Amino acid sequence: MMQPVAKGLTSIIRAFSYPNVPGVLGLQTQWNSPSAFQNIRPLSMSLWPFGAQPRDFSQPNASWSPEMRRVYDHYVALCEVETVGGEKKRGPWRKLPSYNRTLKYARGGAYLSKMIQSKARLFTRSIKEHGAAFEYAIFVNKQEKRCVCVFQSGHLLEGPPGHVHGGAIATMIDTVTGGLAGCLSGPIMTANLNINYRSPIPLGSVVLIHSALDRVEGRKTFLTCRVTSTDETRLHTDATALFVSINMGHLFGT
């Protein structure tokens, strides 16, 4: 049985993708290794121990606009730097992999089994059609305690005619700030989102979602977030987010 926890669990699922999650999935050895976390290109040798490698939804697909691909390629390039000797090594940025249901690929425990059998899918990755809903990739710079997400909105995300729904924007802000908070603080859940909508986002356009750590106070991780045009001249939305660290055992009744 799952135990109730004191706060919303919004962002827990993200924690499964990050290397600083306690080993509840028995994957800590593989996932703590930088190469598994890096995940910039398809791995030539799978580190995944459970058969087929899960699909990483943050890889480019045919629905991506040239602008989406350009920004993505820019940040992918920052994930590797060339040394003076011409050798390539890890850069300051990392791309976060993104699955539609991480638990589907994990094992162990009655609760997990029940989950595996269900049809549940992560909200931001639940639509199969490429480009119809959320297309995004998140790049994290742990040294600078910040991240950038490139986001292309699909036609199923409409709010006001021709523009992205405020709830879809909130969803991406939760996803991006929670992604960074998970990287920096380990397993967390969303406790507060405070969002100012300043200018509407045209449906189908590409925007950047920037997030940065504000401060950590005990179990609380505070972050800021801004949604801008790709040239950063136009501010669409700004927000603050608060995440609370949780004991992963709550999720599995241990």
Query: Which active-site residues does the annotation give?
Result: 174
Helix (H, G, I), strand (E, B) or coil at 45: coil
Question: What mask, x for binding a second copy by CB under 8 A, covers residues 19 to 58?
Answer: ----------------------------------------
What residues have CB less than 8 Å from 169, skipping those under 6 apart? 195, 197, 201, 227, 236, 237
Question: What mask, x for binding a second copy by CB under 8 A, covers residues 143 to 162?
Answer: ------------xxxxxxxx
In whole angstroms, give the CA distance from residue 78 to residue 75. 5
- Note whether 180 binds a second copy by CB under 8 A: no
- Judged by CB under 8 A, which of 30, 32, 38, 171 binds a second copy? 171
* Residues between 196 and 225 that touch a second copy (CB under 8 A): 196-201, 203
**Whether the Cβ atoms of residue 50 and residue 107 lie closer than 8 Å to each other:** yes
Residue 27's beta-bridge partner residues? none
How is residue 9 written in tokens? 């669990």
User: Which window, 33-41, 43-51, 135-143, 170-178, contacts a second copy (CB under 8 A)?
Assistant: 170-178
**Whether the Cβ atoms of residue 88 and residue 62 lie closer than 8 Å to each other:** no
- Note whether 115 binds a second copy by CB under 8 A: yes
- Distance from first CA to last CA of the chain, Å, rounded? 9
* Interface residue list for a second copy (CB under 8 A): 2, 4-13, 101, 103, 111, 115, 118-124, 126-127, 133, 155-163, 165-175, 178, 189-201, 203, 236-237, 251
